[in-house]
Amino acid sequence: MTQDETGTGDAKGAGTEAHSGARVAPGRALGLTAAIAVVLVGIAAVVWLNPRQMTREQYLALDYFPMERPIALEPFRLTTHTGAPFVLDSLEGHWNLLYFGYTYCPDVCPTTLALLNSVVKKIAADGNPAEPQVFLISVDPERDTPDRLADYVTFFNPGFVGVTGELAEVTNLAQQLYVPFGKVPGGSGDDYLVDHGANVIVIDPRGQYAGFFRPPLEPEHLLEVLTSLLRR
Ligand code: NI
């Protein structure tokens, strides 16, 4: 914006000089203006095609921790809330946000899913190429049936996908993404809590671990980082 304004000012200045100074022929001034216009259009095109390549420091300042190099994941086999397989392929072709949690979670999970809903809605409204796919991976597969997950995640956003399956396979994926979780001791029967990491994991369109957001999650920070990643 500032660049554009400065550029326009220069072009006007050149035109004025041509009239008063009479040293620069009107034709040359026009040529100069045209040349500046071409340069400005060029800069605008580069900025539009290649917006906001952020540095590692800029990402860190927004609580996003990018991997030095994206990490390829080992295969896993889980199930979405519609009963479809959730495997490595499910993450390819689009950006993904993975959050580990569970439907009985008293506070952090609902807050996070509501926040992710507001972020992806804003991304879609801003006319980005594609909004990231959000997955809630259940750390409580014992109680989180596909039906229960379906009701839960679609309450926050009809596009969100719940994932459940064998505890060993949830553990397999969670460990690859460095997300800790475990039942809190002292519960009885069906009445228990599950502690879990609250990072939001970012998986790139090649299905590789690209980085994570660490709480406290700020919607504006997620929006800025994800917009940069989506247009990269
Ligand atoms: Ni939770």
pLDDT, tens digit (0-9, with 9 covering 90-100), for 44-82 = 554 455 555 789 999 999 999 999 999 999 999 999 999
Q: 11 CA to middle of ligand 1, Å?
A: 57
Q: 216 CA to middle of ligand 1, Å?
A: 14
Helices (H) and strands (E) in the chain, counts: 7, 10
Q: 162 CA to middle of ligand 1, Å?
A: 14
Residue at 63: amino acid letter: D
Q: 129 CA to middle of ligand 1, Å?
A: 30
Q: 193 CA to middle of ligand 1, Å?
A: 9
Note the pLDDT of residue 130: 85
Q: 230 CA to middle of ligand 1, Å?
A: 27
Note the pLDDT of residue 48: 52
Tokens representing 196 are: 């879990």
* Bridge partner residues of 98 (DSSP): 135, 201
Q: 107 CA to middle of ligand 1, Å?
A: 6
Q: What is the pLDDT of residues 107-118, one digit of tens each?
A: 899 999 999 999
DSSP string, 39-83: HHHHHHHHHHHS-----HHHHHHTTEEEEEEEEEPPP--EEETTS
Note the pLDDT of residue 31: 73
Q: 58 CA to middle of ligand 1, Å?
A: 28
Q: 133 CA to middle of ligand 1, Å?
A: 19
Note the pLDDT of residue 197: 97
Residues of the chain with pLDDT under 50: 1-22, 46-47
Q: 97 CA to middle of ligand 1, Å?
A: 16
